[in-house]
Amino acid sequence: MLEELEQGSPSYVTEDLTSTASADDDEIRERMSGNLCRCGAYGGIRSAIREVSS
């Protein structure tokens, strides 16, 4: 894998590095579904993810 990285070739587990990442609220919720947070900050976390991905 390090050789692939040095050559700039993403491996089969690497996301498409040339396209802009985007996700709607449903996808963000789905991807966060395995995390348990008792602080109730999910709304803020989703907002931060949307901001960074835009």
Cα separation, 5 vs 23, whole angstroms: 26
Q: What is the pLDDT of residue 24?
A: 83
**Tokens (6 digits) for 26:** 């449903």
| CB 45 within 8 Å of CB 32 | yes
Enumerate the domain spans of the chain: 20-54
**Tokens (6 digits) for 41:** 């900050």
| CB 39 within 8 Å of CB 47 | no
Task: Give the pLDDT confidence of 1-54 residue by residue, as tens digits.
Answer: 567 667 776 666 666 666 666 778 888 888 888 877 778 788 888 898 888 877
